[in-house]
Amino acid sequence: MLEAKNLHKSFGSHHVLKGVSLEVKPGEIQVLIGLNGSGKTTLQRILTGILEPDEGKVSIGGKDVTSSLPEDRLLGYVPQNTGLFRHLTVRDNILYSLKNGRGSEESFREAVELLDLESYLDWRPTQLSGGYKSRVALARALASSPRAMLLDEPISEVDRAKKEYVLPLFRQILLQLHIPVLYITHDPWEAGEIGTSYSIMRNGVVEGIASPEEAFSVIRQQARDSGE
């Protein structure tokens, strides 16, 4: 289980997270639809351990990790721009965690096979298309044998046509892992393609929603309110 309970975070007088709670079960892909300025980046940084919350608790696999360092959380993380190490080959990117005793040759081979990356192992990230970059980023996280996954707009650099192919592939692989997956996006269509459950983040709080369509109406309402 990936769990956040009553998270608060302020920067000076700006209260960014105002009691965020969420719960993601193993085998669930919960999509968090974050509206602009809703605090989703702050939440992502707290979940990965880059930031500490002012108040509240984060636990992964039943273990309280609120004060744990990012390297001790066993959380697979795929950021928005993939964060691939451009000085390393695809192979060395995916094998990165093995030097830290995370994952194994077997988890490496499995990730490469699942994401069909065999022919690209000696390529550099700069030679890859957006779709393949996000595949490598996912493979790198998977090869580290994480207890939970956090994907923050992992295919934002991929065009819509390719997303229609990549999203079902990612969904199938993530479900196969049977670990909690939190997938952050601002696109309700993308949410519908990959998620098994949905929540929306606005004004520093997270609310559960039944479907991505609900997010559409919230976004439309917000756009009307802000006069966009």
Residues in touch with other proteins (CB under 8 A): 45, 48-50, 69-71, 73, 75-77, 79-81, 83-87, 96-97, 99-102, 124, 126-127, 137, 140-141, 144
Nearer to other proteins, 182 or 200 (CB): 182
Nearer to other proteins, 109 or 220 (CB): 109
Residues 6+ apart with CB under 8 A from 47: 2, 4, 58, 75, 150, 182
Q: How far is the CB of 222 from other proteins (least distance, A)?
A: 27
Q: How far is the CB of 112 from other proteins (least distance, A)?
A: 16
Nearer to other proteins, 30 or 82 (CB): 82
Nearer to other proteins, 33 or 74 (CB): 74
DSSP string across 89-103: -HHHHHTGGGGGT-S
Terminal Cα distance for the chain, rounded: 38
What single-letter DSSP state applies at residue 35? Answer: P
Contact 116, 84 (CB under 8 A): no
Q: How far is the CB of 164 from other proteins (least distance, A)?
A: 26
Nearer to other proteins, 39 or 103 (CB): 103
Distance CA 194, CA 184 (A): 11
**Which residue do the tokens 């995370």 mark?**
102
Nearest to 138, CA basis, from 151, 119, 125, 122: 151
Nearest to 162, CA basis, from 192, 131, 135: 131
Q: How far is the CB of 186 from other proteins (least distance, A)?
A: 17
Q: How far is the CB of 56 from other proteins (least distance, A)?
A: 20
Residues 6+ apart with CB under 8 A from 147: 60, 61, 73, 74, 75, 179
Nearer to other proteins, 84 or 158 (CB): 84
Distance CA 53, CA 9 (A): 5
Q: How far is the CB of 124 from other proteins (least distance, A)?
A: 7
